[in-house]
Amino acid sequence: MYLTITNNLEDIRIYNGIDNNSGQLYIGLCEISYSAKLINISAKLYNNKMRLDNEHREIPEGYYNFHTFANKIFKPLNITAKLNHETLLVTLIIPTGKVLAMSINLATTLGFENNRFNEGTYTGENPIKRVDLYLHLNELNTTENLLNGTPSSVLEIIPTGRFSKEYTTPRFKQLSKGFFENLNLSIKNEIGELVQFNDLCIVLKILAL
């Protein structure tokens, strides 16, 4: 049995349901493609604050693609932010007479080792930070699926950014026993927050082993 899911992950209703009262059914990821927003801003990550001259600013929490982040956060301050899509290095151009200071974690998120910028042009030392995302399936048998030694509903670990992959040999994981009228999938970051994404397509395969 194959399931193809596009964009809406929550409460995926299954025609005629899935009978796994015997506990013999397993599920595996066959194919996935999506565009997940690259920059995660959160108070929990301590990367949502910066200061221009003596004016403190708090960045709204959420996931941003770089273009949106540059236009909403830096452009109103007359700061130019550019991303080299080949190297993933960020360049900031600070206007004359201005001083920008970021939280250390925000500078790290954007690939900078320093967090204070006087007027001038600066290019990050490191590629913009990518983090792992986690594809969760609530109906997994978590006692048989461990992540770092702990029972987990993670079906697969996937990267941020634009991603597409076909799994020629899926890693099948056991479903919980019971009868399911729907499946509940979600994509979360490393601290358990739901991730925003575009152009999602997931193909799952369910079979008895």
CA distance 200 to 8: 8
All residues at 6 or more sequence positions from 91 whose CB lies less than 8 Å from its CB, including other chains: 80, 81, 82, 83, 84, 121, 122, 123, 124
Domain range 2-36+130-208, its CATH number among 3.40.50.300, 2.30.40.10, 3.40.50.620, 2.60.120.1100:
2.60.120.1100
Instruction: Give the CA angle between residues 177, 152, 1 to the nearest 5°.
Output: 45
CA distance 202 to 167: 11
Which amino acid type is present at position 128? I
Q: DSSP class of residue 88?
A: -
All residues at 6 or more sequence positions from 122 whose CB lies less than 8 Å from its CB, including other chains: 91, 92, 93, 94, 112, 114
pLDDT of residue 26: 94
pLDDT of residue 11: 65
pLDDT 10s per residue in the chain (209 long)? 788 887 666 667 787 889 999 999 999 999 988 776 678 888 988 999 999 998 999 999 887 878 889 999 999 999 999 988 788 899 999 999 999 999 999 999 999 999 999 999 999 999 886 667 889 999 999 998 998 899 999 999 987 767 788 998 999 999 999 999 888 888 887 778 777 666 778 888 888 76
pLDDT of residue 200: 78
What's the pTM?
0.65
Residue ranges of domains in the chain: 2-36+130-208, 39-123
